[in-house]
Structure 1
């Protein structure tokens, strides 16, 4: 974040309200005409919120992560809703800790819920804080299901910038990539969420997405048609990032555009701003059968999401940062998908960019997507 921009998370909740005095025509500032009795002024919204937080939380407000959660101006109703939800969690934690019959696991679960409620934005955490929230989520899953998951918080590596190329000549419309993506990234089965779209287009009509069929159910490849895939393009100038009011989505150093699901407020501004239809919204709680959950996860990738938040393709961050190809690349039976490090002069994707006539969608928008198309 550049220094010349006001930091969104730095708001003054601790401002002092100056007291003012006045005098009247009697020439006295106190006593005398009885007109100097202190007025009972109604608290402003800011003062009311300040008092409510201090009364309910006290010194807890100065702990790491708390200021980020409560450092937002809001009206009284919103303040009470926020405080009530948080205090209910606290009440549950207190009840678990004081109950004679409560198990140690119940106490631990309540403590985890409390700490997760007040954690900060992931991109503002240091490595120790990132590891701590990952450990809490792993432990929470163990307590809830009795099973284990492997969750990573691995950061972007130096000298790595991920890019993607799609060979239109080779794609046959099999959709193996779509199925692999759904399974790898724990996408909601009820809504049949899919990050990848495979567009079936008629030969000679150009790239006409308005007339393309994205839900074909016939034998492929169909005569007189060609196929073209779209997903999140991980732009260098992502408009989705610019419009997010809480900075729940951002671009990582290795070029991946990611989402902090626990910081997203579900406004869907990013969904509206994306010119490539790369974002998905959870209208209901995502459901994945326990036996189908991919337990190799990344905090910014395929960990389980919740109702009311955005999600998207991450180039399988849990795989790509481990030196593997995304699931769609690995699953493609025709080799139409190519992924690699754009900064590596010996990588396959660099060879494609240097030796093929490549193009990108909507280049005139200046979004600089890191997803190229080409033909043999």
Structure 2
């Protein structure tokens, strides 16, 4: 027999595991569906509209509940679920969203660098991230934390991540922390349902609908990069970012984890993440690590760079540097 390619073997084995989990979940739900068939039929046929929504909305939600894991979907199935989510957004919030499932691009591996010399703690990056990624307004959820640090400190644990005063403060510097999209991400290993994984372009993503809210990934992350929805997220319709990605800034639900995705809805379209675009001091650098002419490669080659908690061996694609 010809030797098997290790990468293909790992991919086949991973897909088999996903298929087992998918089949088990679907069979369980099908059994529950049979038990509740008469009640469901009465609900769909007799209620019309009410506290459970219209018949069309109930039908769409029912179909969403039985869909596959994202990585097991065909392109046609991805398009179908996106159409359902767009219709549900219109019904529930009166918003016309445009959702994408654009895949990673060959020859691209995203990386990020943060200039500790230039950041002055203005928090425009945080505000831009909240708006772009449709983060919950009631809990003031934030993917990005900026820590005010005294010179000589090198860990955000001893910094002030909740400052509320005029910046910059003399004899202090500012350190931004978010998901570092590790090459050997401990969160991916910790997830029992395979709801989170690393894409070929290096972005660590979440299939929100397969997250069971156990928060194992949150506990495994040494960089405080993950967030949990304790309540149903709320974004006013007028403030919602309409251009969304299935693995990015679409609306999440109570009990689901979420995190920075390097603004996958923007980066895969050739745009910069919202935080990079919003930074008034140019402290944030983003680009393709495989492109020798990219700004991120220039920084890594010519600046004094380091990675936070590099000794853990997670290989984050996020560097800090000074001028």
> What TM-score comes out, normalization by structure 1 length?
0.78
Q: Give 1:134's aligned residue.
A: 82
How far 1:120 sits from its partner (Å)? 1.0
How far 1:209 sits from its partner (Å)? 2.3
Residue 187 of structure 1 pairs with residue 143 of structure 2: no
Residue 117 of structure 1 pairs with residue 117 of structure 2: no
Distance 2:30 2:217 in 1: 24
How do residues 287-306 of structure 1 correspond to structure 2 at under 5 angstroms? Answer: 287-306=234-253
Distance 1:188 1:101 in 2: 31
How far 1:107 sits from its partner (Å)? 3.1
* Superposed CA offset, 1:139-158 (max 9, x none): 11122233311111111111
Distance 1:222 1:365 in 2: 31
Distance 2:48 2:153 in 1: 69
Contact 2:211 2:257 in 1 (8 A): yes
Contact 1:163 1:341 in 2 (8 A): yes
Distance 1:215 1:98 in 2: 52
Distance 1:272 1:89 in 2: 39
How do residues 83-232 of structure 1 correspond to structure 2 at under 5 angstroms? Answer: 84=32, 91-92=39-40, 94-95=41-42, 98-99=45-46, 106-203=54-151, 205-232=152-179
| Corresponding residue SS for 1:8 | helix
Distance 1:328 1:188 in 2: 17
Q: Give 1:43's aligned residue.
A: none
* Superposed CA offset, 1:256-312 (max 9, x none): 000011100000000000010000001111111121111111111111111001000
| Corresponding residue SS for 2:304 | coil
Q: List alignment gaps of at least 5 residues for structure 1.
A: 13-64, 72-78
| Corresponding residue SS for 1:165 | strand
| Corresponding residue SS for 2:11 | coil
Q: Give 1:260's aligned residue.
A: 207
* Superposed CA offset, 1:329-367 (max 9, x none): 000000000001111111111111111121111111111
Q: List alignment gaps of at least 5 residues for structure 2.
A: 1-9
Residue 352 of structure 1 pairs with residue 308 of structure 2: no
Q: Give 1:44's aligned residue.
A: none
Distance 1:373 1:180 in 2: 21
Contact 1:250 1:257 in 2 (8 A): yes
Distance 2:124 2:221 in 1: 25
How far 1:214 sits from its partner (Å)? 0.5
Q: Give 2:11's aligned residue.
A: 2
Match of 1:341 among 276, 280, 288: 288
Contact 2:18 2:72 in 1 (8 A): no
Whose RCO is larger (CA < 8 A, sep 6+)? 2
Distance 1:86 1:182 in 2: 41
CA shift in 2, pair 1:109/1:344, >3 Å: same
| Corresponding residue SS for 2:127 | helix
Q: Which has the larger radius of gyration?
A: 1
Q: Give 1:69's aligned residue.
A: 25
Distance 1:366 1:249 in 2: 19
> What TM-score comes out, normalization by structure 2 length?
0.90
Distance 2:164 2:208 in 1: 33
Contact 1:152 1:299 in 2 (8 A): yes
Match of 1:314 among 251, 261, 265: 261
* Superposed CA offset, 1:55-82 (max 9, x none): xxxxxxxxxx6x25235xxxxxxx6x99
Q: Give 1:329's aligned residue.
A: 276
How far 1:211 sits from its partner (Å)? 2.0
Could you tell which deviates more after superposition, 351-360 or 242-251? 351-360
